[in-house]
Amino acid sequence: MTGDRGNPPSAGGGDAEGAGRPAGGGARDASGGGRAPGAGAVAAGRVPWPEASDPFPEHRGVRGILVVKTSALGDVIHSLPSLYALRSLFPEARIAWAVEPRFSDLLPGPPWIDDLVLFRKAEMRASGLIGKFRALADMRRAMRPMEFDLALDLQGLMKSTLVALLSGAARRLGYCEMREGSRLFTRPVTGPNRSGHVIQRYLDVVRSLGPVPDEVRFPLPDCSPEREVMRSRLLEAGAAGPLALLFPGAGWRSKLWPAAFYARLAGDLQSWGMTVALGGGPGDGPLAREIISLAGTPAGRAIPDLTGATDIRGLMGLTSLASVCAGADTGPLHLAAAQGTPTVSLFGPSSGERAGTWGPAARYVAAGVPCSPCFKRDCPRKDNFCMESIGPPAVLERLREVLGLFPPASLAGS
């Protein structure tokens, strides 16, 4: 089963200076920092819940907005079109975003985001109960001077709703799938896309506030410096032809595609004259080495292993260079698609209709077996049957299709 995603994305604006952070803004964490209280002050006081007769009630008087989407890579990317819509609706509002530090470089600065609120999940998890309460109290003190009128919880978990509560925002809205009791404190918004793609479900929350553009855009920081660094590294490694990036790793074991299938895919792409490289996190190194060993590429056609070699900004630069990216349903594929890079992603335990890569150059192959999608991190059958049911020929067919529509460019001149 195959699929694609229609609305065109755009690697929208954002300031590259300060890794995408505003010169006068920045991140707020337990130690303070970021914009000083009083700088760019918003109106004091709280906007009361409006009357139901107002067709767009939350639109009135909103000056300070907190978006809560703390993780993970693909989920934060799926939330970016809501930021675009939110800024179009509230061009003068002060917008902050609560996020884990490891994903903060993914977010753009002005005109999109004025402040970051760092949710230090790893540190809180490692601390005792008293330490957790102290960290939350510090977060509350850091957020209160921002005087939020509205908080949008796009995570839908108790931890994210807790951040929304600590912000002091009187209005707290969440998307339709609020879990872990979070709907007791945050009002879920169920729009026409309840059963649709998660990007549209997040956008339904913003649409409840007022009219927003129909287009789906991804505001991202500029990654031009990182792009050139990655280009130089690849050229020094002997890469020259159009770049095909394969991402074999996955956060769920059930999403892993067999190494032998990736090796076959790499060989076929090389036969098309493409340079094949492997990307991913540090934990993907053993899998990448297995793929390279199985591929057995001759001299002059080596497969560069870039697993663990990039941070998020480097990953942005790397995926923007590629003529095509392929792999399982993981964050790097969503990041590539958000920048307009052609992608082919593989869906077994998860759903391409609900969470596929988005854009005119985005394609996916879904496992056509009865147990898919199961939404389980580990295969209940213990054999990753759904992923193994996706054969390399089906993936190659989609790659050929997308490369025919979006012709590849050489790495040296892209």
The CATH code of the domain that includes 184 is 3.40.50.2000
Residue 6 lies in a domain: no
> How far apart, in whole angstroms, are the C-alpha atoms of residue 324 and residue 407?
10
Residue 190 lies in a domain: yes
* Domain-ending residue, one of 159, 186, 219: 219
Look at residue 128 in the predicted model and tell me its pLDDT.
86
> How far apart, in whole angstroms, are the C-alpha atoms of residue 99 and residue 13?
20
Burial (Cβ within 10 Å: 0-12, 13-18, ≥19) of residue 276:
buried
pLDDT digits (tens, 9 = 90+) for 182-228: 888 899 999 999 999 999 999 999 999 999 999 999 999 999 999 99
Mind giving me the DSSP string for 215-268?
S--EE----HHHHHHHHHHHHHTT--S-EEEEE---SSGGGPPPHHHHHHHHHH
Residues 175 and 240 in one domain: no
> How far apart, in whole angstroms, are the C-alpha atoms of residue 48 and residue 72?
33
Which residues make beta-bridge pairs with 412?
none
Residues 210 and 260 in one domain: no
* Pairing mode of beta strands 26-28, 275-278: unpaired
Mean of pLDDT values over 39-56: 35
> How far apart, in whole angstroms, are the C-alpha atoms of residue 228 and residue 134?
42
Residue 48 structural domain: 17-219
Residue 190 tokens read as 């169920």
Q: Is the peptide bond before 8 cis (omega within 30 degrees of 0)?
A: no
> How far apart, in whole angstroms, are the C-alpha atoms of residue 146 and residue 139?
12
Look at residue 33 in the predicted model and tell me its pLDDT.
33
Residue 72's nearest CA partner among 414, 301, 274, 355 is 355
Contact present, 14 and 20 (Cβ < 8 Å): yes
Look at residue 182 in the predicted model and tell me its pLDDT.
84
Residue 8 lies in a domain: no
Q: Quote the number of domains for the chain.
A: 2
**Block residue for tokens 């900004």:** 313
Residue 2 lies in a domain: no
Residues 291 and 328 in one domain: yes
- pLDDT above 90: percentage of residues in the chain: 73
Residues 228 and 212 in one domain: no
* Domain-ending residue, one of 219, 243, 267: 219
Q: Name residues whose C-beta falls within 8 Å of residue 311's C-beta, 6 or more positions apart in sequence.
A: 105
Look at residue 109 in the predicted model and tell me its pLDDT.
97
> How far apart, in whole angstroms, are the C-alpha atoms of residue 87 and residue 67?
11
Look at residue 296 in the predicted model and tell me its pLDDT.
87
Contact present, 61 and 146 (Cβ < 8 Å): no
Whether 41 has a pLDDT exceeding 90, the answer reads no
Look at residue 147 in the predicted model and tell me its pLDDT.
95
Residue 373 lies in a domain: yes
> How far apart, in whole angstroms, are the C-alpha atoms of residue 184 and residue 351?
28
Contact present, 122 and 139 (Cβ < 8 Å): no
* Domain-ending residue, one of 190, 219, 248: 219
Mean of pLDDT values over 73-91: 97
Residues 189 and 57 in one domain: yes
Residue 12 lies in a domain: no
Residue 1 lies in a domain: no
pLDDT digits (tens, 9 = 90+) for 313-367: 999 999 999 999 999 999 999 999 999 999 999 999 999 999 999 999 999 999 9
Residues 229 and 214 in one domain: no
3-state secondary structure 50-113: CCCCCCCHHHCCCCEEEEECCCCHHHHHHHHHHHHHHHHHCCCCEEEEEECHHHHHHCCCCCCC
Residues 55 and 177 in one domain: yes
> How far apart, in whole angstroms, are the C-alpha atoms of residue 304 and residue 2?
29
Whether 13 has a pLDDT exceeding 70, the answer reads no
Residues 161 and 286 in one domain: no
SS3 311: coil
Contact present, 315 and 279 (Cβ < 8 Å): yes
Instruction: Report the alpha-carbon angle 9-209-86, nearest 5.
Output: 35
225 or 132: which leads in pLDDT:
225
pLDDT digits (tens, 9 = 90+) for 227-280: 999 999 999 988 878 999 999 999 999 999 999 999 999 999 999 999 999 999
Look at residue 246 in the predicted model and tell me its pLDDT.
98
Residue 396 lies in a domain: yes
Look at residue 35 in the predicted model and tell me its pLDDT.
28
Which residues make beta-bridge pairs with 326?
246, 344
Whether 26 has a pLDDT exceeding 70, the answer reads no
Residues 252 and 373 in one domain: yes
Residues 289 and 315 in one domain: yes
Residues 237 and 363 in one domain: yes
Q: How confident is the model at residue 7 (pLDDT cuts 50, 70, 90)?
A: very low
Whether 299 has a pLDDT exceeding 90, the answer reads no
**Mean of all residue pLDDT scores within the chain:** 86
Look at residue 56 in the predicted model and tell me its pLDDT.
60
Residues 173 and 280 in one domain: no
Q: What pTM was estimated for this model as a whole?
A: 0.85
